[in-house]
Structures are given as structure tokens and as C-alpha cells.
Chains A and B, each alone.
Chain A
Amino acid sequence: MHSPMEQFEIKRLLNFHIGSLDASFTNSALWMVVAVALATVVFVFGMSRRAMVPGRLQATAELGYEFIAGMVRDNVGNAGRKYFPFIFTLFVFILFCNLLGLVPYAFTPTSHIIVTFAMALVVFLGVTVIGFVRHGAHFLSFFVPKGVPLVLLLLLVPIEVISYFVRPFSLSIRLFANMLAGHTMLKVFGGFVVMLGLYAGWAPLAFIIAFTGLELLIAFLQAYVFAILTCLYLNDAIHLSH
């Protein structure tokens, strides 16, 4: 029987080496490509007819657009409008990676912390650059709480700075841990089905069916949380609000 962690193993499909850098095309990369391709198909084909009364695919595409557009408008305001394409892309990519990971034999790129951390780092660096571009050195006042005596500032400013640097970690750990835990759980209970056999294996099988439903919810919820936290960080940088 396979170990429950085997599903997360990275396998090289095509070998590429640039100098000492291993740039091989892996199963993780393959499923990211599949996610991007499928998302492109859904949104390009869905919107190709531009019907007044949308069909199923067009309704899906429009629903996703409106959902994220509303999120950006509510959380960042008008200033966030130009960052909408980025947040929408991020949301759709994570959502498709999460959902495709639930297909049997598929690989979940978002169950690897290096993938989620890379995305979180892009968000973190981008938001920091936006903050400095918009406010210059004044952006540093973000780390200084207002109305606090000078002595306490010596203690509070380092805490604020570290809180800021914790962001990419909490953002990436949240997504990766949810995916990793969910898929491991499914695999463990799948193992129970085989071990208990025809007589008692039905109970864990029923659990797996119910748990897959929960995993669908989590796949959506985690993409949502990633997008909305990006919005909140962006709002902090643009409006310097605590």
C-alpha cells in the first residue's frame, strides 16, 4: 500500500538543466499548466459568445468576475481597481489548482509550501513596493502606532515590523496546510477502505464522500481567503490604515 504522503512527491517528467539549476518540468509544473489552460478555456470560451442571457459557462465566468470585482471594490475602494487583474488571476489560479487537485490521480501544486510561499512573496513584495511608491518614506509611519509614548515605541515598533514580515508566512502556511491536511486525510481514509475490505469498508467510504464535499468548500474558501487577504494588505499599503 502507498504511504499517504506519496501523492505529494515531485516527479521529473522532462529533464532540463540550465548550468547547475535544475529546471526540470515536473508533475507539479504540469498541473499548474493544466490549471492555467483550463482557466483560460473557461474564461475565453465562456465569454466568446457574449450572450445577453448567459449560458452556463458564461454565467460561471461572469459570477467569478463580479465576485472578485466586488471584493476589490469593498476592501480597497476605487484605488484598487487597477490591481483587479492581478487579484483575479491569483484567485482563479489558486482555485483551479485546488479544484483540479481533487480529481483522482491529479497533483495539487498548492499543497507545496514553496508554491504558495512564492505567490505570497510576490504579494508581499508587490504591496510593499506599492506602499513606498505611493507614500515614499511616509510609508514607514505604518509601523509607528499613533498616540503611544516614546518609551513604548521602542517595544512596539519591532513588534509591528515583525507582524508585517509574518504576513507572507501566514498567507502561505494557511493555503498549503489546508491542502496538505485535506489530501492526506482523504488518502488515509482511502487506506482504511482497502484494509477493512468489503464488510466494514463502507463506513470510511461514506466518510470520504462527505469529506470530499468539505474539501470542495475548502478549495474555494482558501482561494477566497488568499485573495481577500491580498486585498486587505493592498488596502493597508494604499490607505496606510491600521
Chain B
Amino acid sequence: METPERDPEGERQRLDDLDARLKKARGPEVRPTQDMRVSHRETGVAYRVLVDMIAGLLVGGFLGYWLDRWQGWAPWSLIGGLIVGFAAGANNAWRAIRVYSDQADKGGNRLP
């Protein structure tokens, strides 16, 4: 039977001991939430980059097409527009990635 007046010091030691044993049983500490967050962030960046590049192509292509119709330079301004649009999309994508990698270097956890 337990005595009504407990020893607080012994109680704490017992808890510390239990904590240590639990830690040992669980093995080395891993943080899955951290990894989840990183992979989530990377998915977000990947989506952004994808849309940036597609939008670049669309805008460049549309501008070139419109210039073709207007000036009758077919198909040269469409070709030029697609190339410049692709470069613009890649430029935007590159910028998004650079912001992200700067933050990763700083160890920040923010989504770009």
C-alpha cells in the first residue's frame, strides 16, 4: 500500500526515469512533420513554376499571333513570340526558385 504523504523528489526522479526509458524505446528522435512541411512547400513551388512557364508561353504565343494578324509577318512573329515568351516564363520560374532557395539557405520555413 502507498503511504498518503508522497515524496515529491522521488516522484520526479521516477518520472524522469520513465521519460528516459520511453525515449530509449522510441529510438533516435525523428521529425516527420518537418519533412512533410518541406515536401509540401516543394510541391507548391513546383506548381508555381509550372504555371509560370505555361503562362509565359501563352502570352508570348498570343502576342506573336496577334502581331502576325496585324502586320502579316506570319509565321515569324509567332515563332519569335513563343521563344521570347518561353524565356520570360523561364525567367519568372527562375526568380520563384531563387526566392525559395534563398529562404531554404536561411533555414526559413516560409512558403515563397
How far is A169 from B51 in the complex, measured between Cα atoms in Å? 9
The reply to whether the CB of A187 lies closer than 8 angstroms to some CB of chain B is no
The reply to whether the CB of A74 lies closer than 8 angstroms to some CB of chain B is yes
**Given A173-B51, A174-B51, A225-B48, does the pair A159, B91 have CB atoms closer than 8 Å?**
yes
Determine if B56 and A166 form an interchain contact, defined as CB atoms under 8 angstroms apart. Answer: yes
Interface centre among B47, B58, B88, B112 (most CB of A within 10 A): B88
The reply to whether the CB of A177 lies closer than 8 angstroms to some CB of chain B is yes
Interface centre among A158, A162, A224 (most CB of B within 10 A): A162
Chain A: interface residue count, which band? Answer: 20 to 34
Determine if B51 and A158 form an interchain contact, defined as CB atoms under 8 angstroms apart. Answer: no
The reply to whether the CB of A89 lies closer than 8 angstroms to some CB of chain B is no
How far is A166 from B93 in the complex, measured between Cα atoms in Å? 11
Q: Tell me the smallest distance from the CB of B54 to a CB of chain A, in Å.
A: 7
How far is A64 from B99 in the complex, measured between Cα atoms in Å? 24
How far is A26 from B82 in the complex, measured between Cα atoms in Å? 37
The reply to whether the CB of B84 lies closer than 8 angstroms to some CB of chain A is yes
How far is A159 from B112 in the complex, measured between Cα atoms in Å? 23
Determine if A170 and B55 form an interchain contact, defined as CB atoms under 8 angstroms apart. Answer: yes
Which of A74, A159, A177 is within 8 Å of B88, CB to CB? A159
CB proximity to A under 8 Å, residues B68-112: 84-85, 87-89, 91-92, 95, 99, 110-112
The reply to whether the CB of B59 lies closer than 8 angstroms to some CB of chain A is yes
Determine if B84 and A169 form an interchain contact, defined as CB atoms under 8 angstroms apart. Answer: no
Determine if B91 and A160 form an interchain contact, defined as CB atoms under 8 angstroms apart. Answer: yes
The reply to whether the CB of A50 lies closer than 8 angstroms to some CB of chain B is no
CB proximity to B under 8 Å, residues A141-198: 158-160, 162-163, 165-167, 169-170, 173-174, 177
15 contacts between A and B (CB under 8 A): A162-B59, A162-B84, A162-B88, A163-B89, A163-B95, A166-B89, A166-B92, A169-B58, A169-B59, A170-B55, A170-B56, A173-B58, A174-B47, A221-B44, A228-B111
Q: Tell me the B residues contacting A by CB distance below 8 Å.
A: 44, 47-48, 51-52, 54-56, 58-60, 63, 84-85, 87-89, 91-92, 95, 99, 110-112
Q: Tell me the A residues contacting B by CB distance below 8 Å.
A: 74, 158-160, 162-163, 165-167, 169-170, 173-174, 177, 221, 224-225, 228, 232, 242
Extra pairs beyond A159-B87, A162-B63 (19, CB < 8 Å): A160-B91, A162-B85, A162-B87, A162-B88, A163-B56, A163-B91, A166-B59, A166-B85, A166-B88, A169-B55, A170-B52, A170-B54, A170-B55, A170-B92, A173-B55, A174-B47, A174-B48, A225-B44, A228-B112
